Amino acid sequence: MKKRYTISVFTEDMVGLLNRVTIVFTRRKINIESIAASDSEVQNIHRYTIVINETEDLVKKVTLQLDKQVEVIKAVYHLDEEIIYQEIALFKVPTNILMQGGEAEHIVRSHHARVLSVESEFTVIEKTGHKEETQHLFDELAPYGILEFVRSGRVAITKPMRTLTSIVNELENTYK
């Protein structure tokens, strides 16, 4: 059965490595739902957070093939319940729909969204949450006219207490 899996890939800092990572998905024609790249808590180790919707059997194979890449330090996969995750969405809406008072402003407040910037023509609203939540806000604001919308890739923190530092220490002792 297909489920949503979050794959975390910890890598050395190297030009082109992201390409090597995405090739593993492209080869099997797996659509990447979202991808985010950032630093990790360990200096010089980067992490990619990749979300796909596939069977566990396939996710496992893909994760091993990611792990196999020379400069990938570790690749792991988790179900939604095994991680704490978040996405951020930005909405650009006409300022006048908020100025008119009432409904639009109420929607923004009820979603606990934040106003980032108010210009005479447009206002930028930020909403942090799961995709369903940012999508819900999108759906409610849509009738008032959304000028621009963007949602980030998922970022996720894993619940298990095994640290990257301990994984790295273990690898430092075994590679030789």
Which segment (10-18, 96-104, 132-140, 156-164) binds another protein by CB under 8 A?
Answer: 10-18
Burial 3-34 (b: 16+ CB within 10 A, else e): eebbbbbbbeeeeebeeebeebbeeeebebeb
- Binding of another protein at residue 71 (CB under 8 A)? yes
- Binding of another protein at residue 27 (CB under 8 A)? yes
The CB-of-176 to another protein minimum distance in angstroms stands at 5
- Binding of another protein at residue 156 (CB under 8 A)? no
* DSSP string for residues in 120-171: SSEEEEEEEE-HHHHHHHHHHHGGG--SEEEEPPPEEEESS---HHHHHHHH
- Binding of another protein at residue 40 (CB under 8 A)? no
- Binding of another protein at residue 67 (CB under 8 A)? yes
Site residues (vs another protein, CB under 8 A): 11-12, 15-16, 19-20, 23, 27, 60-61, 64-65, 67-68, 70-73, 168, 171-172, 174-176
